[in-house]
């Protein structure tokens, strides 16, 4: 299970050969265009892939995006404010309970 997988001798490359074929058919354009004749390429150059279309916003889509962003901000703000309010109410009720317990424990005979 942990032994290396070695290819059989008939498919293994010999030490003198390379697995990468040599590049052929590449023609470089001249560095300048003065007094040179253009060389015809030997292989056809593949066409570039079509460019992705750019996103275009219409006034209606901008209005929808602005309204959606405003709605998200208002909803998140409402949730955060309600969480803060719940924390404040809980803290106030714990404080009232602490004051009541303190008054009950400090003066048991005053009733």
Give Cβ neighbours of residue 27 (< 8 Å, ≥ 6 apart).
39, 41, 42
pLDDT, one tens digit per residue, over 58-100 is: 889 999 999 999 999 999 999 999 999 999 999 999 999 999 9
pLDDT value, residue 72? 96
Q: Is the pLDDT of residue 106 over 70?
A: yes
Q: How high is the pLDDT of residue 9?
A: 62
Check pLDDT > 70 for residue 53: yes
Q: Is the dihedral of CA 87, 90, 95, 96 positive or negative?
A: positive
Residue 24: pLDDT over 90: no
């Amino acid at each position: 299970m942990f032994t290396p997988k070695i290819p059989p001798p008939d498919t293994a490359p010999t030490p003198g050969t390379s697995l990468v074929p040599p590049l052929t058919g590449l023609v470089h354009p001249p560095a300048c265009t003065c007094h040179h004749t253009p060389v015809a390429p030997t292989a056809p150059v593949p066409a570039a892939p079509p460019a992705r279309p750019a996103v275009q916003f219409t006034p209606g889509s901008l209005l929808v995006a602005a309204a959606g962003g405003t709605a998200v901000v208002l909803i998140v703000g409402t949730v955060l404010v309600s969480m803060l309010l719940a924390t404040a109410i809980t803290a106030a009720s714990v404080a009232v309970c602490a004051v009541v317990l303190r008054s009950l424990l400090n003066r048991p005979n005053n009733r």
